[in-house]
Amino acid sequence: MSCHADLVTDNPSRLSDAGRSNLGIVQKLPTSLVESLAALRSDTVLKQANGTHVVEHYLAIKYTEQEMLGKMSEKERHVWLMERY
């Protein structure tokens, strides 16, 4: 992919579909953790770069963490997340 950074003179979030396409921007980033994990699960390039086993273990941890957090109250989630991150 060629670099077109010099062509962007406005806020990239305001580009039209055609403007994004002209710059080679054809896929939006995930908007949630669930979407991000699904994208990672299907990304063969990242799996190859990081090692499939590493990515699969990371995904397993994140899915388990999400399940656990889903069972907590908002306050419990807040405390748990603040203690770790």
Mean pLDDT by 10 residues, the chain (85 residues): 57 83 86 94 95 96 95 96 91
**44/74 same-domain check:** yes
- Token pair for 17: 């579909």
**53/79 same-domain check:** yes
- Contact between residue 24 and residue 4 where contact means Cβ atoms under 8 Å apart: yes
| pLDDT of res. 6 | 55
Task: Name the pTM for this structure.
Answer: 0.68
Give the count of domains, the chain: 2
**41/73 same-domain check:** yes
**24/46 same-domain check:** no
**45/78 same-domain check:** yes
**61/44 same-domain check:** yes
**44/68 same-domain check:** yes
Placement of tokens 């390039």 in the chain: 45
Domain boundaries, position 5: 1-29
